[in-house]
Amino acid sequence: MSVRKLKPITPGQRFRVVNGFDAITTDKPEKSLLAPKKRTGGRNSQGKMTIRYKGGGHKRRYRIIDFKRDKQGIPATVATIEYDPNRTAFIALVNYQDGEKRYVIAQNGLQVGQNIVSGNNVAPEIGNAMPLSDIPLGTIISCIELRPGQGAVMARSAGSFAQLMARDGKFATVKLPSGEVRMILVSCMATIGAVSNSDHQLIVGGKAGRTRWLGRRPRTRPVAMNPVDHPMGGGEGRSSGGHPRSRKGLPAKGFRTRSKTKASNKYIVERRKK
């Protein structure tokens, strides 16, 4: 995994840093695992804009990812490592011994030709998925379920990982990428290893146009708005916006919005750091 800094032969390439794509082995996705992906442009069913700063962007097709890893006990061979435009992590096409093909999130160090398997009592090797009850303590994990059979919902983005800290009864204690320490049922599945494409955070767009390719429109600064549009708007000349807050008036930058009576609070051992 590496990044490349382009030679500044155009103004847009002067600060551009792109992914080296060393780990990618093919640029043609598996047709049977593609689905159409419609874009809303931030509009609802009436055509009215309900989400600002969305629209445009390159056309994409969705890659159907197996987040549940429910094909247990059947070994699969990694056929390719591919780029997915819908997520920051790379994905791997795996061929199961019974002939089925599936996409999974690729872990760091996953190689073409490697065998992976999911289920109980499998070896804790990179790419293998197993319940938290079978994973050795201290192991680096990713793609973690929150409820058994739900499918992976945590630690799925590029370079992210969690660590299994302890087990007590039916709960395992896991340190999540945010720094939060949380209890999760030991029957939940997780994948061994950190997520691939850890250099994603080093990528620099270099120009405004690349952000438009990703479907993001220009964002208006709140201090440039009028008082009717935002609490931080208005004022004579270049006055500052006052205390940072959202359009609805909620304080930003450190103000905690999580409910103190939320049912899942009892599963959080240690809150994430500010």
Q: DSSP H helical segments within 7-62, as ranges?
A: none
* 81 found inside a domain: yes
Cα-only R_g, the chain: 22
Q: State pLDDT tens for residues 47-101.
A: 999 999 999 999 999 999 999 999 999 999 999 999 999 999 999 999 999 999 9
**pTM, full prediction:** 0.92
- Please give the residue range of the domain that contains residue 106: 3-200+264-270
Q: How confident is the model at residue 240 (pLDDT cuts 50, 70, 90)?
A: confident
* 136 found inside a domain: yes
Q: In what order do the strands lie in the sheet with 76-82?
A: 101-105, 91-96, 76-82, 115-116
* 153 found inside a domain: yes
pLDDT in the model for residue 171: 98
Number of domains in the chain: 1
The domain that holds 60 is classified in CATH as 2.40.50.140
* 150 found inside a domain: yes
Q: Which of 110, 118, 61 is nearest to 81 (CA)?
A: 110
* 234 found inside a domain: no
* 245 found inside a domain: no
Q: State pLDDT tens for residues 97-124.
A: 999 999 999 999 999 999 999 999 899 9
**What are the C-alpha distances in Å from 120 to residues 44, 71, 141, 187?**
44, 11, 16, 10
* 178 found inside a domain: yes
* 186 found inside a domain: yes
For residue 274, pLDDT over 90 is answered with: no
Taken in order 9, 10, 12, 15, the sign of the CA dihedral is: positive
